[in-house]
Amino acid sequence: MGWRATYREDLEATPAQLTYGTNIRLPGEFFVENKSRIDQTTFVGKLQHIMHKLRPVPASSHNRANVFIHKDLPNSSHVFVRHDGVRRSLESPYQGPYKVLSKSDKLFKLLINGKSSFVSVDRLKPAFLASEYEPQPAVDKKHEPVTTTTRFGRKVRFRIDPKNLR
């Protein structure tokens, strides 16, 4: 009975009062009649008054993590999709790139493996693809190999003129 009957100032009650709603009694106290009786109407009135004073406490939400959304995501034509499952070693966390079919604030409709599917924005990352209309490198005329004779009389052919390398 010791610790359960000890009054705690921080709780302003004993652990037994918190658990059972009343003090723990010794076996001899079970047979003693309680002299103080409260009128039922007074008790009900006090209970109603206390219950009207109760106000709900706002619940805390611990699962709201701010999700990073890239600034270029609304303008991208192709995106990578993050795979949230368990990955093997050296496996990329993103799959794709996939073509964007349509967009909304929270969902993107993507063409994945020939099928359209909706994916949440928080799993997407824009794909920056090389332009299809990039300027092609100029086609150089074919150079004839330059033949040079060494001091010992051997002939060496260079694909590029060694004089131009300097």
Show me where the domains of the chain are located: 1-26, 73-127
**Nearest CA to 125 among 147, 150, 98?**
98
**Nearest CA to 75 among 48, 107, 100, 110?**
100
Q: Which two tokens stand for residue 113?
A: 């493996």
Q: Is the pLDDT of residue 121 over 60?
A: yes
> What pLDDT is recorded for position 68?
83
Spelled out in words, what is the top-level CATH class assigned to the domain 73-127?
A: mainly beta
Query: Which pLDDT band, with edges at 50, 70 and 90, does 22 fall under?
Result: confident
What is the spatial distance between Cα 46 and Cα 66, in angstroms, rounded to a whole number?
46
Give the DSSP letter string of 21-90.
SS----GGGGGSPP-----HHHHHHHHHHHHHH--PPPPP----PPPP--TTGGG-SEEEEE--S---TT
User: In one letter, which amino acid is 101?
Assistant: L
pTM check: above 0.85: no
> What pLDDT is recorded for position 138?
59
Handedness of CA 85, 90, 93, 98 (dihedral sign): negative
